[in-house]
């Protein structure tokens, strides 16, 4: 092997990542590529939006159920006062 080729090989070896880091880097690249291919961000956003939409009727039913018990009357009055005082801060 000529000296120029030997230097090129030595330079390539010194600039390359150590084997475990190279494997980890390739794995991370493959994971990111796979997430983009299946549209993971869009799926996660859709799931979060659907969950938030489902929480509104759940909260409504829970408050309506709790309103039937006199034990929670003070709590409901406090909640009502809180919601009526802060209409501009919602959203």
Q: Kindly report, residue by residue over 29-72, the tens digit of the pLDDT.
A: 999 999 999 999 999 999 999 999 999 999 999 989 988 888 88
pLDDT attached to residue 54:
94
Q: What is the pTM of this model?
A: 0.47
Q: How much of the chain exceeds pLDDT 70, in percent?
A: 75
- Mean pLDDT of all residues in 13-21: 70
Q: How many Cα atoms are found within 13 Å in the side-chain-facing hemisphere of 59? A: 8
Q: Where are the domains of the chain?
A: 1-38, 48-91
State the SS3 of the chain.
CCHHHHHHHHHHHHHCCCHHHHHHHHHHHHHHHHHHHHCHHHHHHHHHHHHHHHHHHHHHHHHHHHCCCHHHHHHHHHHHHHHHHCHHHCC
> What is the pLDDT, as a whole number, of residue 87?
61
């Amino acid at each position: 092997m000529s000296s120029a080729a030997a230097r090129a090989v030595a330079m390539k070896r010194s600039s390359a990542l150590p084997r475990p880091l190279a494997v980890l880097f390739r794995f991370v690249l493959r994971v990111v590529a796979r997430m983009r291919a299946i549209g993971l961000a869009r799926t996660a956003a859709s799931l979060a939006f659907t969950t938030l939409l489902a929480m509104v009727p759940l909260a409504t039913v829970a408050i309506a159920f709790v309103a039937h018990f006199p034990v929670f009357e003070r709590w409901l009055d406090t909640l009502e006062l809180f919601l009526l005082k802060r209409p501009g801060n919602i959203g």
